Chains A and B, each alone.
Chain A
Amino acid sequence: DAGVTQSPTHLIKTRGQHVTLRCSPISGHKSVSWYQQVLGQGPQFIFQYYEKEERGRGNFPDRFSARQFPNYSSELNVNALLLGDSALYLCASSLQDRGYTFGSGTRLTVV
């Protein structure tokens, strides 16, 4: 069975640009969460979606948005990129909030 897949694996963007990151959960998992991991720190919660509804949002500006599709895949969008948005973006899926399986992440570099 495929795990959580994220694309792209690496991305370089310029300040002010927009970026879309994609995540496909494990088959059967209806919950998808997004985390930002800045170098040297633990992951920080951005969003959680369950059955296409936003169930939780972390302390991130409105430049960050996400959505979940009928097939439970998800996109994370970030507008007006800042240098400080450079990070590893992790997606996790779960079945019933009992354990979260993470993807390998998307490494975003803003220059």
Chain B
Amino acid sequence: AQSVTQLDSQVPVFEEAPVELRCNYSSSVSVYLFWYVQYPNQGLQLLLKYLSGSTLVESINGFEAEFNKSQTSFHLRKPSVHISDTAEYFCAVLERTSYGKLTFGQGTILTVHP
């Protein structure tokens, strides 16, 4: 069975600083990878996804993540964060042989301070 580990439960950072949210996964088969963001009292919003092709994927708001198959990682990065990036971030995997069962990590709370 697949599993996802988000290595940091909380990441405090100052505005305009770079940030990396770490995600490692375990699976015996090929996977699709996702990052979701959740603002307080809201549902999940898809930030970016890796399905195939280039291992570096980008979102429209400056986040990027790189799929590293050898290290089974999918870390999320942003070179300069804004106050509005404060939220909880979830890494998720979907085994290519499964039917829609996303497995999520425990989440990382990103807090951006002025």
Contact = CB atoms under 8 A, between A and B. Distances in A.
Main secondary structure of the interface of A (DSSP, over half): strand
Contact of A100 (B98, B100, B103, B107): B100
A41 B106 contact: yes
Nearest to B91: A42
Interface string A46-72: 001010000110100000000000000
B46 interface: yes
Contacts of A107: 41
A74 interface: no
Contacts of A94: 100
Nearest to B109: A40
Contacts of B44: 43, 90, 92, 102
B104 A48 contact: no
B43 A104 contact: yes
Interface residues of B, number: 25
Contact of A50 (B100, B103, B105): B100
A56 B100 contact: yes
Given A90-B44, A100-B46, A103-B43, A50 B101 contact: no
Interface in A60-111: 90, 92, 94, 97-105, 107
Contacts of A56: 98-101
B35 to A, nearest CB: 12
A58 to B, nearest CB: 7
A44 B92 CA distance: 11
B100 A43 contact: no
B100 A42 contact: no
B94 interface: yes
Interface of A: 4, 31, 33, 35, 41-45, 48, 50, 55-56, 58, 90, 92, 94, 97-105, 107
